[in-house]
Homo-oligomer: A and B are copies of this chain.
Amino acid sequence: MIEALLFDVFGTVVDWRTSLIRRFERFGRENGVPADWAALADDWRGEYDPAMKAVRDGQRPWTSLEHLHRESLDKLLPRHSLNGLSEAQRQEFVLGWHFLDAWPDTVAGLNRLKKKYIIGTLSNGGVRLLTDMAKFAGLPWDVIFSSDNFRCYKPAAEVYLGAAQLLDTAPQNVMLVAAHNYDLAAARGHGYKTAFVARAGEYGPRQSRDFKAESDWEFVAKDFEDLASQLGT
Contact = CB atoms under 8 A, between A and B. Distances in A.
Interface in A115-152: 118, 120, 126-128, 131-132, 134-135, 142-144, 146, 148-149
A118 B143 contact: no
B118 A167 contact: no
Interface in A35-71: 64, 66
Given A135-B118, A142-B134, A149-B149, A126 B66 contact: no
A89 interface: no
Contacts of A146: 166
A216 interface: no
Contacts of A149: 149, 166
Nearest to A149: B149
Contacts of A120: 131
A221 to B, nearest CB: 23
Nearest to A98: B168
Contacts of A127: 143, 166-168
Nearest to A169: B128
A99 to B, nearest CB: 14
Nearest to A129: B168
Given A143-B144, A144-B143, A144-B144, A167 B128 contact: yes
Given A146-B166, A148-B166, 16 more contacts: A66-B168, A118-B132, A120-B131, A126-B168, A127-B143, A127-B167, A127-B168, A128-B166, A128-B167, A128-B168, A131-B142, A131-B143, A131-B167, A134-B142, A149-B149, A149-B166
27 contacts: A64-B168, A66-B168, A118-B131, A118-B132, A118-B135, A120-B131, A126-B166, A126-B168, A127-B143, A127-B166, A127-B167, A127-B168, A128-B166, A128-B167, A128-B168, A128-B169, A131-B142, A131-B143, A131-B167, A134-B142, A135-B142, A143-B144, A144-B144, A146-B166, A148-B166, A149-B149, A149-B166
